[in-house]
Amino acid sequence: MNFPAVRMRRLRRTESIRTLVRGTHLAPSQLIYPLFICPGEGVRKPIGSMPGVFNLSIDEALKEAEECAKLGIGGLLLFGLPAEKDEQATGAWADDGIVQTALREIKKNRQLDGLVQIADACLCEYTSHGHCGIVARDGDHYNIENDSSLELLAKTAASLAKAGADIVAPSDMMDGRVAAMREAMDAAGKQDISIMSYASKFASAFYGPFREAADSAPQFGDRRSYQMDGANRREAMREIELDLAEGADMLLMKPAMPYLDIVREARERFDLPMGAYQVSGEYSMLHAAFERGWLEPQRAMMESLLGIRRAGADFIVTYFAKDAAKVLG
Ligand code: PBG
C-alpha cells in the first residue's frame, strides 16, 4: 500500500495523537547528575566552560543533592578534587578521601535515599601528573603502567563501596580493572555493590571542559595509550565483552553524541543495563550556541537527550539533568 491510501501525516495531526504514538520516552529517573566535590565550606566555584556547573564543597553538594532528589532525578555521579595530589593518587583510595567523606554525609541524610549514589573510580583527579594510572618514567619516555595501577584502582573501589557508594564506576580504561575491583570489593564485604563499567570509553576531545572542572588534565602526553581510538567500533564490542566476563553489572558508554552508533550496537548485542554519558564538551558546545542565540535551548537540550535514549541508552549521565527534569516536570 502506498499514497494516497497511506498518509504518514495522519498520526502527526494533533499533539495528543503524537503523544500516543511516541516511541521513546524521557523521565527524570533516567537522568544522572555529575557533581564535582572540593574541599572547604560554602564553596561554589563556577566552571568557566560549563555554565551552571560548579566545584562544590560537601555542604553545598548536599544542597544540590536535595534539589536533585526533589526533581526526581535518578542518581548522582560523584567526582572529587582532593586537597593534595601525588604519584600514588592517595586521595582516590584514602578512607577520608573527599568523595568517601561526601558519601558518608549523603548517606546520613534520609531525604536523599531516592538518589542512587554512583562513585566514579579513576586516579586522574588525584595524581600529580593527571594520568589515570601509575606513570613509569625512563628518560624522555613514559608509560602508564597497567598492572600496578590495578592495585590502586581496586583499593579505590573498595574504599568507595565501604563509604556508601551504591555503584562504583571505573573510568580509567586499564585492562583487568573490573575483575580487580570486584575481588577487592568482595574482600571488603561489599559483594552487593555493583560495578558500572565505562567499558567503551574513547579518547575524546569532548572531555576538555571536564578537565577544567575536575582539574585532571594530563601534565604531559595524552590518554591515547589507554582510552580507545574513536575509529574502532569492533574494539568497543570486545572491551564490553571482556568487562562482562570480569563481572560488570552495567555499562556506561562515552561520549554519547559522536558515538551513537556504538550505543546502538551495544544495545543490540548485550542485555545488561546500559547508560550513556553526555560528556562535558557536548554540554559546553550546546551552551555556547545557546549564548549566541543560535539554538533554542530547551528544544535542543531535550532533542540531544532523546537521541541518546533512542540510540538505546536506558539512562543518561548529563549536566542537563536538573534542567531537563524541570522540563519533564
Ligand atoms: C576520568 C573521567 C573523565 C571523564 C569522566 N571520567 C575525563 C577523562 O577521561 O579525561 C569525562 C567526563 C566529561 O567530559 O564530562 N577519567
Are residues 107 and 166 in contact, defined by beta-carbon separation less than 8 angstroms? no
**CA neighbours closer than 13 Å in the CB half-sphere of residue 229:** 5
- C-alpha 122 to ligand 1 mean position (Å): 9
3-state helix, strand, coil in the chain (%, to 5): 45, 20, 35
Nearest CA to ligand 1 atom 2: 171
Are residues 135 and 124 in contact, defined by beta-carbon separation less than 8 angstroms? no
Ligand 1 contact via 283 beta carbon (within 6 Å): no
Residue 140's pLDDT is 84
What's the sign of the alpha-carbon dihedral 23, 29, 302, 306? negative
Please report the domains of the chain, with CATH numbers, ordered by start residue. Answer: 26-328 (3.20.20.70)
Annotated catalytic residue 201 = yes
Residue 77's pLDDT is 98
Residue 168: which of 264, 252, 67 has the closest Cα?
A: 252
Average pLDDT per 10 consecutive residues for the chain, totaling 329 residues: 97 98 98 98 98 98 98 98 97 98 97 97 96 92 96 98 98 97 98 97 97 93 96 98 98 98 98 98 98 98 98 98 97
Residue 98's pLDDT is 98
Are residues 124 and 92 in contact, defined by beta-carbon separation less than 8 angstroms? no
